Homo-oligomer: A and B are copies of this chain.
Amino acid sequence: MAIKKDASKNIKEVLRDQINGKLLLPLQKLPSERELSELFSITRISVKSALDSLEIEGLIYREDRRGWFVSPPRVKYNPLSRCHFHQMISEQERIAETQLLGVKSMMAPSSIATILALSELTPIHVLERLRYIDGRAVLFVENCLISEFFPDILSENLAQSLTTLYEKKYGFKNSRSHFDFIPTSAPEHVAHALNIRPGQQILKICRVNYNQHHQIIDCEFEYWRPDAVIISIDNRESF
């Protein structure tokens, strides 16, 4: 008799139970919104609102016009460790892939010039890469390199670790990085690459890197699916 009361709460609890109880497994598809609305005798708008809320919680995610799926466990990410993405992921027994989306060379726009502390017109390279965990696109990365520090870098394999490339090819060692973590929404090109809605919530990380001579050499914008990651930091570790 209490069934009709707050229908969206009901469907949320049922789905949460099914996921926590492993009746629905990670990456598994949920029934369609129309099916759910019949199963629970509520409108599709109410179904949607319940799914939205479970999405924010990090339990499920959507793929545009393909359906809703159960989120895999979050990956731990320690930005202060010098660990590469692929190494970090495989240490957690997950599978990492990196895809190079494109490279542009341009003059630094003012927003990026500010971050890189550039006072004049300066050419930069912009790399766009997409990272996958267990086959799911979870991280969109944009690297902005001050071109003069990296002659001929475009002829290298840019799907590998940039840190390693910086060191091996240019002898750069990271002496310092600055990080900003910002909960915000996905810009259009990011949303498209991650297969999420434009405007959907995301975790944005802005990183600025210094070489051993304390020069800023590049910055990086990371856009994480918010259900895919836990940022994990220990203040004892300084490396």
Contact = CB atoms under 8 A, between A and B. Distances in A.
Nearest to A210: B236
Given A56-B199, A199-B53, A233 B178 contact: yes
A231 B53 contact: no
B183 A183 contact: yes
B57 A184 contact: yes
B230 A182 contact: yes
A64 to B, nearest CB: 15
A238 to B, nearest CB: 4
A74 B232 CA distance: 22
A232 B176 contact: no
A201 B56 contact: yes
B235 A182 contact: no
Q: Which size class do A's interface residues fall under?
A: 20 to 34
Contact of A185 (B56, B178, B229, B233): B56
A237 to B, nearest CB: 9
Interface in A220-239: 226-227, 229-236, 238
Contact of A57 (B45, B185, B203, B234): B185
A88 B92 CA distance: 35
A72 interface: no
Given A199-B53, A233-B80, A58 B183 contact: yes
Interface of A: 45, 53, 56-58, 74, 79-80, 175-185, 199-201, 203, 226-227, 229-236, 238
25 contacts: A56-B184, A56-B185, A56-B201, A58-B182, A58-B183, A58-B185, A79-B235, A80-B233, A80-B235, A177-B234, A178-B233, A178-B234, A179-B232, A179-B235, A180-B230, A180-B231, A181-B181, A182-B230, A183-B183, A183-B201, A183-B203, A183-B226, A183-B227, A201-B226, A235-B238
Given A53-B199, A183-B201, A201-B226, 19 more contacts: A53-B185, A56-B201, A57-B185, A57-B199, A58-B182, A58-B183, A58-B184, A58-B185, A79-B233, A175-B236, A176-B235, A180-B231, A180-B233, A181-B181, A181-B232, A183-B183, A183-B226, A183-B229, A238-B238
